[in-house]
């Protein structure tokens, strides 16, 4: 195809996609049916993981729960069964341990079957300034928040590719889009999670595997205990999010094959400004929005899961 024809095709498609996006503001996208789908959620012992499990349970999905908290998983399993999940399985798995991820994944495939919706949700935060963070905690942050994603994809993506069917969900963070003072290792891991998910998504499209969807979730602080003590300077623009709201929005995004989900809506504006404005102006607005001091009163701990 010559340059003129190809350029015209791109122009027409751009106009169509913009029109389609505008229409979606008024006509919601059709929700897909996940009844009977095998949904694996890491970090399912509490918080957002537990709430997402309950949402999927009410939709008839088969649930596979991973966590390092056995009692927490048992409670999540009980709640999911109450919400109507046809089957619930739970496995003790430390996602930071590659060998454990692979062995537990093999067990899941033997006992449950192929996972068709993978939700990488487990996460930790040190909450320390970079020079104050022990090397062991920095390494743990990277192992849980990003390296675990590599191992779970390696374990479960081959079956999705063979079937050209599946959904890869990354619970990242707004700190994976915009750097935050006091969260150097956490931001690094979440930036990596966003980039990894985007890259694999494009790889799948380039090889014709368009039946495998990707959803990347970037929420602001969530009131789960993970970021206890953190304050938001302007709660109207950037509120601390309630977990129930976040879980419902994530599941809705998965059901409608939404690629990016930023919460609250103000994050779309903040992310766009970061890429459009001069650096000095971005820093000025960051100070105005409280980004420089948001971690000053942090009192969470690394064992909390997001």
186 catalytic? Reply is: yes
In sequence order, what DSSP letters do the residues of 5-37 get, joined into one string?
Answer: HHHHHHHHHHHHHHHHHHHHTTSPPPPPP-TT-
Instruction: For residue 141, count other CB atoms closer than 10 A to its CB.
Output: 26
Catalytic residue, from 17, 91, 153, 186: name it.
Answer: 186
Catalytic residues, by residue number, are 186
């Amino acid at each position: 195809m010559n340059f003129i024809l190809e350029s015209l095709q791109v122009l027409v498609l751009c106009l169509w996609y913009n029109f389609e996006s505008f229409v979606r503001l008024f006509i919601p996208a059709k929700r897909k049916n996940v009844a009977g789908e095998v949904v694996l959620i890491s970090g399912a012992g509490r918080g957002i993981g537990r709430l997402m499990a309950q949402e999927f349970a009410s939709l008839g999905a088969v649930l596979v729960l991973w966590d390092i908290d056995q009692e927490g998983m048992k409670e999540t399993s009980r709640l999911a069964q109450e919400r109507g999940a046809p089957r619930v399985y739970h496995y003790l798995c430390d996602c930071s341990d590659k060998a454990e991820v692979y062995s537990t994944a093999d067990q899941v495939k033997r006992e449950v079957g192929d996972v068709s919706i993978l939700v990488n949700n487990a996460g930790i935060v040190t909450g320390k300034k970079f020079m104050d963070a022990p090397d062991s905690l920095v390494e743990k942050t990277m192992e849980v928040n990003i390296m675990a994603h590599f191992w779970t994809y390696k374990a479960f993506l081959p079956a999705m590719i063979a079937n050209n069917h599946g959904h890869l969900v990354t619970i990242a963070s707004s700190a994976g889009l915009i750097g935050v003072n006091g969260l150097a290792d956490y931001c690094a891991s979440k930036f990596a999670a966003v980039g990894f998910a985007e890259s694999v998504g494009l790889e799948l499209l380039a090889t014709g595997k368009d039946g495998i969807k990707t959803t990347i979730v970037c929420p602001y602080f969530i009131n789960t205990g993970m970021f206890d003590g953190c304050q938001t300077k302007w709660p109207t623009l950037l509120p601390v999010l309630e977990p129930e709201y976040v879980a419902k929005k994530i599941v809705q995004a998965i059901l409608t094959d939404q690629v990016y989900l930023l919460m609250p809506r103000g994050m779309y504006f903040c992310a766009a400004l970061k890429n459009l404005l001069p650096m000095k102006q971005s820093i000025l607005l960051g100070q105005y929005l409280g980004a420089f001091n948001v971690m000053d009163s942090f009192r969470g701990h690394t064992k909390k899961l997001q």
